[in-house]
Structure 1
Amino acid sequence: MKKLFADKKNIIITIVLAELILLVLNAFRFNRTESYSFSQDDFFVDYLNRETNEYERESGAYADHTDKEQSYVVTKPLHLGKGIYNIYVNYSSNAGENWHFCYTTLQACLDVSKDKAAHLAYCDHIALPMEMNEVSYDSWVRYKTDFEVRMGPERDETGDGFFVLANEVRITYLRGKTIIYETAKLLLLFMALDIVLYLFGIKKEETKRFFEDKAFIVGVLLFTVLYASYPLLSDKLYFGDDIFYHLRRIVYLGEGLKCGQFPVHIYPGWDRGYGYAAGVGYGDLLLYPSAILVNLGFTLQAGYKFYIFLTNVLTALVSYYSFGKIADDKNVGLASSVLFTLIGFRLHSVYTGATVGEFGAFIFLPLVILGLWEIYSKKSKNAYIYLALGVTLTLSCHVLSTFILALVIPIFCLVLVEKTVQKDILIPLLKAVAAILLLNLHFVVPLVDYMVSKNVSGNSITDMIWARGRDLVTFFGYSQAKELDTSGFLGLGIFSIAVLTIAFGFIIAGKFEGKSLIYARVFALSIVFVLLSTNSMFYFTLYQDVPILYKLLANMQFPWHFLDVSCGMVVFWFAVTAKNAVCKLNKKNATYVAMTVICFACVIQGNTLLEDVVKTAHPITMYDDAEISNVAIAEFSIPDIEESVPYTDTDMIIREDSGATAKILKKNGTTIYAQVDNPTENTVVTEAPLWGYRYYAAKAGGKKLKAFMGDNKKLWVEIPAGYSGKIKIWFREPVLWRLSELITLATLVFIVREYMKTKKD
């Protein structure tokens, strides 16, 4: 045995075999079949008996607070094993859609704590709105014990005036989903352990040498990521302004992948299955891992938290690399990474605004700054690649951030026009523009296609953007929100004043060795970007005197979107001033001390926001997509659609009284298989439960059918006279879209080859 394990190859084979055996055994552990059904005879009413001041139960299926105080309906207790279960509830109610007031959930019987603090099951509060009579949701049972399904009003006064009549409950064990989920969890654990064993076992010496050289860097980066991520340790999510929109994106992006779309342009499931073209107009690149996790059975909450953690990691690494290259000093790059990752507006975007696209795009701003820095410094042949990738990756996350870059970069080039027109600078800039166009064809072509054809609404927020700005004074201190749902606001932070004043001092003292005028212009531009983030009178002036320019700027919706660029410029000035000071040996230690103090100030002020998030922001659970399946009209919806339609038209519809019929046989995302019968001598139109976006196709018996947007914005399909049989309806990308994707892929391969070639040289 000792000889067997002396060979590293044998160790690897043994570990892999052991892990495979454990994965198989674990899968068999969850291979069972369970289903339970409850009727009204199986329900109880749980209520407060004022005479005894204790909660009691009696047989019943109806609950309201006028009949029995603090009452709700529950099923008989049921012993459930660990796994994922689907709960179906058929009911009647008079409630609205707010799940706080009247809801259903799966709860552990023996956990008598108010908020079920033992966390024996992951399950949302699923609303029981009056316009529906059934809901279906998933629950993750974490520990084998007794559970019951709860239905009815909230116990406190918010539940007064609501009633629920429970008709039927069905609980079904999701064997396949559970096995995939539990296998994926164990596999990820094994992968993490294998990496540790490989680094500290097989590659022990190499790992030791790496940490001897980079232990401090790794430690600071790890601290930065964990500090930015610690609110994720909550068992719930903290509510942010845009959180439900982006939770929908994760769920339905995963649904698109499951039904075979890639890239996913039309989100299936959105608007109760009618679909939504977010993938046409919103970059999804960094959301794919979270969507895949949800498809593997992880909760939506876990997928969203993973996205935040992923962006924290990438922000720290990209800023460390980019600002480190600008400063030619790894320690300066490390300090810049701390500032850029923990700067107030970024933390605000992550936890208070929940502006998923914006803080995703924020990751790549340092690459844009690095590209421009190296182009204008004539430092690297790769400079145009940094700029092109930075802009491209920004667009892959957030169109508005890219729109702002499209304003900022040309202005920057104009401010330094005498350098811009130099051949050594102009050519890399033009190469970057060409690369950006080709790299983004896959996104731009579908977006332009839909916008020009007016197939989507687009941005509708174009009025009074000055009112949506903030006072300058709020950018440097922490301002608590008037409401507690989303915590407060933190912009640039007080340390930014120190950085900007130090940079200004360096400029007027001529510390930039003959380039003070250039740096002065860039500094003035940085201040302009800060001012453009405010509720400035400048926007009202444009609104009144230059309406065309105002309408263009109004596409950014909120002036404080400029804070992304302002944050980047603050850290840029930190890096270049530190670079200037560090190169002087007699000032090196003092510079490092000053850098540490500035970083410490950033951390402390960032903590004011994070603590307020944890203490006051409204916590929500989001383990299932039942709440987010409601209709939500947004910017990439078809204009003038009727929100009530998805609630009423859930099957194929033929409105003509002709004797023709149509019925869905199977619906897989945006793909529908239906049985149609048209015994008439005329062509009839059937309406599919899909919004009528362009490029849906339909076939019957191998022949193409006409599919188009109807008067009610639904997808209409013509059924030929005398046809009886099956039809297929599906979303099919046009050839032009596929061609643009191939051009993008070819350009990416070329740029990667160029980068590797220049690095090798």
Structure 2
Amino acid sequence: MNEQKTMNKANEWPARRRLLFPYLIFAILAAVSLFGALRIDGRLFFGDDLNFHLGRIEGLAQSLGQGDWLPKINYFITGGMGYATGIFYPDFFLYPAALLRIGGLSLVQSYSLYLYLVSLATFVIAYQSFLQLRPTQRTGACLFAVVYGLSTYRLTDVLYRAALGEVLAFMVFPLILVGGYQVVCGDQNRWFWLTAGMTGLFYGHLLSTLIACLFLALFCLRNVGNLIRAPRRLWSLAKAAGCTLLLTMAGWAPMVEQLVYQKLRVAEEPIFYLSHTAESLEEYWAGAVSNLRYNNLGIWVFVVLVVSLMLYWRLDTFNRQLAELGTVFLFLATNLFPHHLFDGTFFNVLQFPWRYFLLVSLCFSWVVADGLLKLFSKPMYRRSFFLVLSLWLLGSSLQMQLQMRASDTRLVPYESFEQMSGEYETGSGREFLPAGMESWMTPTTLISEPEEAAAVSQMSRENNIFSLSYETSEPVRLIFPVLLYKGYMVSGTGTYSKVRNAGTYKGTSMHGFAEVEVNGRGELTLWYQGTWIQKISLGISLLTGIGLLVWWRKADFEERLQ
């Protein structure tokens, strides 16, 4: 009996080793595709959005270190005035980076290790997502993970643009692809994959959520016959959408509340227009050839597109549809599409039409792994195709990193990032500052009007809490160095007003800052408490998540019993 157990264990080990081998490859590829450009001789490549996301991580780490586990206001960004990144840029996926920072790593080290973990997760999620639809095709799953994880536009987002939101979107998009297929064409009872993907996408990158909705709308339109013939699919789609709205309520409800409360810059004239930022197909091709550009799609996508169209009728239905959708979104990214017709519409919030490259990369990565790979009749040919394409993409990644190493003007010493003040980390758009805001204050400044009528003493600031004593001979306005968002509260003794917009000071605009009017003698404390909508929406999202988890575990157990 013991000998039989020993033999069984000996036979299990090779099988387990084969199962673990892909993850080892993913771990190596995630490292090789990143660290040549991320950590170069004590310098970091200055990606377009790098300072903003480093500021988000640093601000979140500071809040966590002070015991604020769900911060809505980032007091590192804007040099202490407080920017509502926790409301308009959900921090859910940033907690690992912030915890690494708290654990003693430098800001650059935390960011670099975090990007590696996100890249590794991208490979793994892509691999497992493919297996959800093709459980016996591990070679195809490996190829999809490698092609998708090494896709040129994803690496451009990671390395050149430092577009962390889109990087996170890349991580979860395979779940949306699989979930959408299950609801529309497969097992509609597995709609929860779509909910998981859309929820993760919302908390990773809001703009990509809009792109995903457009993708799902076109996919449903392409398969409208399935939805008509099986109304239960529509019910599953409704359940996925409803649960997603409840799970993401903790994010979108506070956003809506702030946008209703006051006008923000995002509501003014857009900074970017799709019609201005769209480029020609020739320009995108030139960027792919140079392999060093902010919207680098990669030569491989153009090659796969042409091959897919040439072999269109040899592909199965799903891969034909993905080839079509990939081509459509590539077209939408170009100036061939009349973007000027949408300059004044909601679609313009996407800013750059080449964001659609995320979907182009996703669609053609799947077509390569599931469609083109199956056209090879012999396993040897499939392995050769796998190897050649993987080496091509890895080589392209290394070439990109070597070119980045030659960009001396974009390589910045680590120490520079550790010494960031936070004042200029809001990014180029500053979309969620109060509209019309013109002034800038230091974090310890307190302005009073009229000055001669107020005696302010014992003023202190601890984290986001301002405390002071005052004595006035007439009503006095106290203007605090914090940006006004709904949720600031004031308490104390004496006579004081609610928190309101400062307006002007001696003819100078102080619009967008918090103001409290006091009179007489007393003490005052101002802090950000949050709102009831923030608390209620968080509770609804948490309860929905717990309920779905219990339901999913129960359904999975019952399925195993059958």
Tell me the equivalent position of 2:475.
Answer: 683
Please list every run of 5 or more consecutive structure 1 residues that lacks an aligned counterpart in the other structure.
Answer: 1-203
Give the 3 Å change call, closer, same or farther, for CA 425–476 of structure 1 in structure 2.
farther
For the residue of structure 1 that corresponds to 2:378, the secondary structure is helix
Higher relative contact order (CA 8 A, sep 6+): 2
1:243-254 to structure 2, matched below 5 A, reads 243-254=50-61
Larger relative helix fraction: 2
Tell me the equivalent position of 1:634.
Answer: 430
Give the 3 Å change call, closer, same or farther, for CA 476–424 of structure 1 in structure 2.
farther
Distance 1:207 1:699 in 2: 66
Tell me the equivalent position of 1:214.
Answer: 19
1:187-586 to structure 2, matched below 5 A, reads 211-231=16-36, 232-234=38-40, 235-328=42-135, 329-379=137-187, 381-382=189-190, 384-421=191-228, 422-458=230-266, 461=270, 463-475=272-284, 478=287, 488-489=293-294, 491-509=296-314, 511-512=315-316, 515=317, 520-540=320-340, 542=341, 548=344, 551-577=345-371, 580-581=374-375, 586=377
Distance 2:120 2:270 in 1: 32
Paired residue type of 2:437: I
Distance 1:400 1:226 in 2: 28
Tell me the equivalent position of 1:646.
Answer: 441
2:520 matches 1:722? yes
Conserved 8 A contact 2:495-2:520: no
Distance 1:663 1:255 in 2: 27
Give the 3 Å change call, closer, same or farther, for CA 732–704 of structure 1 in structure 2.
farther
Displacement of 1:740: 0.6
Paired residue type of 1:563: F
2:396 matches 1:605? yes
1:675-714 to structure 2, matched below 5 A, reads 675-678=469-472, 680=473, 682-701=474-493, 705-711=497-503, 712=510, 713-714=512-513
Give the 3 Å change call, closer, same or farther, for CA 294–455 of structure 1 in structure 2.
farther
Tell me the equivalent position of 1:110.
Answer: none
Displacement of 1:271: 1.9
Give the 3 Å change call, closer, same or farther, for CA 337–455 of structure 1 in structure 2.
same
Displacement of 1:215: 4.5
Distance 1:326 1:500 in 2: 23
Conserved 8 A contact 1:455-1:693: no
Displacement of 1:702: 9.9
Q: TM-score, normalised by structure 2?
A: 0.87
2:460 matches 1:666? yes
Distance 2:298 2:284 in 1: 6
Distance 1:307 1:319 in 2: 18
Conserved 8 A contact 1:273-1:669: no
Displacement of 1:385: 1.2
Tell me the equivalent position of 2:380.
Answer: 589
Displacement of 1:208: 5.2
Distance 1:386 1:587 in 2: 33
Deviations 1:590-616 (A, max 9, x none): 233223322222222222212212232
Conserved 8 A contact 2:58-2:107: yes
Tell me the equivalent position of 1:74.
Answer: none
Deviations 1:108-142 (A, max 9, x none): xxxxxxxxxxxxxxxxxxxxxxxxxxxxxxxxxxx
Conserved 8 A contact 2:79-2:421: no
Paired residue type of 2:359: V
Larger relative strand fraction: 1
Conserved 8 A contact 2:322-2:364: no
Distance 2:451 2:23 in 1: 72
Paired residue type of 1:388: T
For the residue of structure 2 that corresponds to 1:627, the secondary structure is coil
Conserved 8 A contact 1:349-1:359: yes
Displacement of 1:732: 1.1
Give the 3 Å change call, closer, same or farther, for CA 219–626 of structure 1 in structure 2.
closer
Deviations 1:278-337 (A, max 9, x none): 111112222122222223442211122122112111111111111232333122111111
Distance 2:63 2:350 in 1: 28
Conserved 8 A contact 1:666-1:674: yes
Tell me the equivalent position of 1:619.
Answer: 411
Conserved 8 A contact 1:477-1:490: no
Distance 1:207 1:295 in 2: 41
Distance 1:440 1:704 in 2: 37
Paired residue type of 2:201: T
How many residue pairs are counted as aligned between the two chains? 533
Displacement of 1:273: 1.0
For the residue of structure 1 that corresponds to 2:82, the secondary structure is coil
Distance 1:210 1:646 in 2: 63
Give the 3 Å change call, closer, same or farther, for CA 317–474 of structure 1 in structure 2.
farther
Tell me the equivalent position of 1:738.
Answer: 535
Distance 1:412 1:662 in 2: 63
For the residue of structure 1 that corresponds to 2:460, the secondary structure is strand
Deviations 1:635-656 (A, max 9, x none): 111112224x314x73322121
Displacement of 1:715: 0.7
Distance 1:610 1:694 in 2: 44
Give the 3 Å change call, closer, same or farther, for CA 390–215 of structure 1 in structure 2.
closer
Distance 2:451 2:395 in 1: 70
Conserved 8 A contact 1:332-1:578: no
Distance 1:335 1:470 in 2: 30
Paired residue type of 1:700: G
Conserved 8 A contact 1:394-1:402: yes
Conserved 8 A contact 2:478-2:516: yes
Give the 3 Å change call, closer, same or farther, for CA 396–664 of structure 1 in structure 2.
farther
Deviations 1:193-241 (A, max 9, x none): xxxxxxxxxxx98995675232431332122212222223422211111
For the residue of structure 1 that corresponds to 2:470, the secondary structure is strand
Conserved 8 A contact 2:322-2:367: no
Distance 1:573 1:703 in 2: 68
Q: TM-score, normalised by structure 1?
A: 0.65
Conserved 8 A contact 1:357-1:397: yes
Give the 3 Å change call, closer, same or farther, for CA 635–490 of structure 1 in structure 2.
closer
- The range that moved more, 597-606 or 559-568, is 597-606
Give the 3 Å change call, closer, same or farther, for CA 628–242 of structure 1 in structure 2.
farther
Distance 1:689 1:570 in 2: 50
Give the 3 Å change call, closer, same or farther, for CA 291–628 of structure 1 in structure 2.
same
Paired residue type of 1:219: L
Displacement of 1:758: 3.1
Distance 1:451 1:321 in 2: 38
For the residue of structure 1 that corresponds to 2:479, the secondary structure is strand
Please list every run of 5 or more consecutive structure 2 residues that lacks an aligned counterpart in the other structure.
Answer: 1-8, 504-509
